[in-house]
Structure formats: structure tokens, C-alpha cells
Structure 1
Amino acid sequence: MKTLLFSALLMSGCATSLADTANDDARQSLKNYGLTRCLLEALPDQPSVLREDLASARRAYHFMGKGAHQILQDEDTMDILHDPYQETRNFVADRYVADGSPMKAGSGNSAFHACLTIYNSAEFDQFIRGQDAYLP
């Protein structure tokens, strides 16, 4: 009886661990999507190898690529009720405009520095965790 109980507890712990890992992977993917969106928004809208690479990464992290967060739609009208990817794009765009990343030397901002600052912020982590309701 003890062996059976121990086995059941061990198996339930493994299932919880797998779910936690899947959620962590999904959060990381959405966070990476946000970084690629931030960098794409900051780059000039001219064709370049970097822009193409970032666009490919963005597509891969999106739900239609391999992203895990689901887009919530009204079943009757097909209106989008919540899109975690659009919300992530809005979050990083708003933060980029609000905070920027002025450089001490020279003029202007460093887009890469600004996007990394957003990416590594506690606010972005909190926002990403707020999208957990849209995981399967």
C-alpha cells in the first residue's frame, strides 16, 4: 500500500513538473516574441538581412508558428477578444516610446539597449505571467 501511494505521489509530481516546464517554455517564447517585435519596430523600415531574420523569428514565436499562447475569439462572430501577441507588441512598443534608451555619448537612442532593458524588466516578466490564462 505504501509503495502504491509513493508511486502515485511521485507520478503526480512529475506531471506538475512537466506542466511547469511547458509554462516556462511558453512564457519564454512569448517574451522572445516581444524582443523581436521591439527590435523590428525600432529598425528602419528598409529591407535588410537583419530585418528578415527578426521577422522570421517573430513568425516562429507567434501562435501561428510555434507559440503556445492561444488567441481568444468569439465563437459566433470570430472577433478577437484577446490576442496575447498583440498585447505583447503593444506593451513593448509603449515601453520603448516611454523609456527609450538615451546614450551618454553621441545623439539618439540605442534600440538594442532599450529593447534589452524592456526584455529584462520585472514589469515585462509580470506582464508575461499575466498572459498565462491563454495557455492551453
Structure 2
Amino acid sequence: MTRAGPERRARSGRTSTSRRVYALLIGVAVLACALLASVMFGSRTTSFGDVLGVLSGTADPYVTTVVESRYPRTALGLLAGLCLAVAGTLTQGVTRNPLADPGLLGINAGAAASVVAATAFLGASGAIDTMWWALP
């Protein structure tokens, strides 16, 4: 058996780094496409040219209003996804388990118990009330 020499180890390190860079670039490209699709599609579909017209300031006022009203939805979706990714990464890091999920730490059970207690003892009803009781 022969051992891997320093040249082979260096090549495998570069290959791993280049794969990570490619994966990151592909991820950023997919994210950009998803953000563009979020701005383009809604109850009234707009074309890519309309979105570019809004960004350059040459679109008509109606299209500008439609596209600009979609920015908060897009930003909130991006922020929610970012927060979920960070929460998942922290859960996996704290438990040192790559398959960790919220049920592992009892987060789901705690939220459910809080909602049941608020419903039974405080009369919470409706989606808004239960959502707020599930957060703590």
C-alpha cells in the first residue's frame, strides 16, 4: 500500500474548496432566480421586462405599483428563510447531530403545551391568539 503524498493531499484540498465555491455560486444563482420569481409572479403576472422597467424607472405607474408592492413579501420570505436556516444550523451545532430537528429539544411539545394551556385556562381562540401563545 502506498500513502498519499503531499501533492495528492494538496490537490484534494483544492478540489474540495472549488466544489464549495461552485456550490455557493449555484446557491446564490438559485436564490436570485427565486427572488426574481417572487417579484414577477402574483395575482397579476408581470414580465421580466416590466421588472427591469421598474428598476430602471421607465415602467408605467400601474406596473410600478404592482411590482413595488411585492418587495415586502419578497424581503419577508428571504428573512424568514434565513432565520429558519440559522435556527436549524444552531440546533444541529448544539446537539452535534446532523439530523437534529425542533422535536429533538422539545420545542414542538413546548409550543403545543403552551397553546393548550392558553386555550383551556385563558380562553385563547383563533389563529392569532394561538400563534402568540406558541412563541414563548
TM bucket, shorter chain: 0.3 to 0.5
- TM-score in terms of structure 1 length: 0.39
Q: Which has the larger radius of gyration?
A: 2
Q: Which has the higher helix share?
A: 2
| TM value normalised by structure 2 | 0.39
